Amino acid sequence: MDSDDHIDIRTLVREHGARQLTIARLSAPADWQGELRAALAAHREPVTIFSGNDFRLFLQSFAIFFTATMMFLI
């Protein structure tokens, strides 16, 4: 490899960053601020211990534990 055959990594990184920024801008929704606010609001909603699937999982686990206990006692 000659001294003339060097790769300028800084230029490649800048070009790659510019391409990634363009792709991000093109794929972003038109109302990205509204989308971000909605996502943050959904993330901040309080989570209860017995919401939806958590309650179902609790009931299934309890049923299995109860059944195993009864089988052990019999």
pLDDT in tens, 6-26: 888 999 999 999 999 999 888
Query: Which pLDDT belongs to residue 52?
Result: 66
Positions of E strands within 10-62: none
Question: Which two three-digit tokens encode residue 65?
Answer: 């534990």
Residue 43 and residue 37: Cα distance in Å, rounded? 10
**Residues 23-40 pLDDT 10s:** 988 887 788 888 889 988
Instruction: Please enumerate in sequence order all residues whose Cβ is within 8 A of that of 53, keeping only pairs 6 or more positions apart, or say none.
Output: none
Query: Which pLDDT belongs to residue 50?
Result: 60
B/e letters for 7-43, b = 16+ CB within 10 Å, e = fewer, are: eeeeeeeeeeeeeeeeeeeeeeeeeeeeeeeeeeeee
